[in-house]
């Protein structure tokens, strides 16, 4: 991992707001995986991430593997957003 990617990965773990939104488009799978560990990542941002046409398959697999991550986004909602259903069924 390059120095820049390493720093971006560290930022992805704690980013909020506009910085987090910008990292959703990062090309590195390592950075995107770190975003999944960020407690500030919300349902809307996860949906944006899952809608990426160039999203590495390992990110989809990780979302599907993490039950706690999936449920964080649908807990307390009346209906399930389309991307949450997709993530659960993947």
Nearest to 24 by CA among 45, 8, 54, 3: 45
Number of domains, the chain = 1
Mean pLDDT of 54-58: 93
Nearest to 49 by CA among 23, 11, 30: 23
What span, in angstroms and rounded, lies between the C-alpha atoms of 43 and 74?
A: 8
Backbone Cα Rg of the chain? 13
> Which tops the pLDDT comparison, 12 or 47?
12
What span, in angstroms and rounded, lies between the C-alpha atoms of 6 and 12?
A: 10
Question: What confidence tier does 42 reach under pLDDT thresholds 50, 70, 90?
Answer: confident
> In this model, does residue 86 exceed pLDDT 70?
no
Residue 69: the pLDDT is 67
**Domain, as residue range, for 65:** 3-89
């Amino acid at each position: 991992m390059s120095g820049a990617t390493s720093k971006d990965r560290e930022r992805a773990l704690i980013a909020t707001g506009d910085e987090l939104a910008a990292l959703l488009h990062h090309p590195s799978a390592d950075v995107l995986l770190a975003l999944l560990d960020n407690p500030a990542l919300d349902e809307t941002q996860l949906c944006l991430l899952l809608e990426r046409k160039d999203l590495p398959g390992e990110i989809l697999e990780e979302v599907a593997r993490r039950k706690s991550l999936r449920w964080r986004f649908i807990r307390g909602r009346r209906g399930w957003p389309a991307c949450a259903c997709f993530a659960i069924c993947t």
